[in-house]
């Protein structure tokens, strides 16, 4: 019985550590997902539409800039 209790506790702890690691690394994405879930739950679809379109546009801009800066960094190293 003692073995199974420890196994269950260890698995819960490892899952919790894994989840907190994801939250720590991607805190912004977790916050955005929480905001979207709250908006969906409260049925604020107009705000959700605005947020989705703006976040897509901003995400694409940031993605483009990150690719550009990666290219610049690689050229400087050579």
pLDDT tens for residues 31-43? 777 777 777 777 7
Considering the entire predicted model, what is its pTM?
0.33
pLDDT over 60 (residue 30): yes
What pLDDT, on the 0 to 100 scale, is given for residue 75?
A: 56
Dist. CA 51–CA 16, nearest whole Å:
30
Q: Where are the domains of the chain?
A: 1-41, 43-77
pLDDT tens readout for residues 47-65 = 777 777 787 788 788 888 8
What does the alpha-carbon distance between residue 4 and residue 11 come to, in Å, rounded to a whole number?
11
């Amino acid at each position: 019985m003692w073995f199974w209790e420890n196994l269950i506790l260890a698995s819960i702890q490892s899952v919790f550590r894994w989840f907190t690691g994801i939250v720590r690394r991607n805190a912004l994405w977790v916050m955005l997902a929480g905001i979207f879930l709250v908006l969906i739950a409260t049925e604020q679809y107009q705000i959700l539409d605005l947020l989705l379109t703006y976040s897509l546009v901003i995400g694409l801009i940031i993605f483009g800039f990150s690719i550009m800066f990666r290219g610049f960094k690689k050229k400087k190293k050579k």
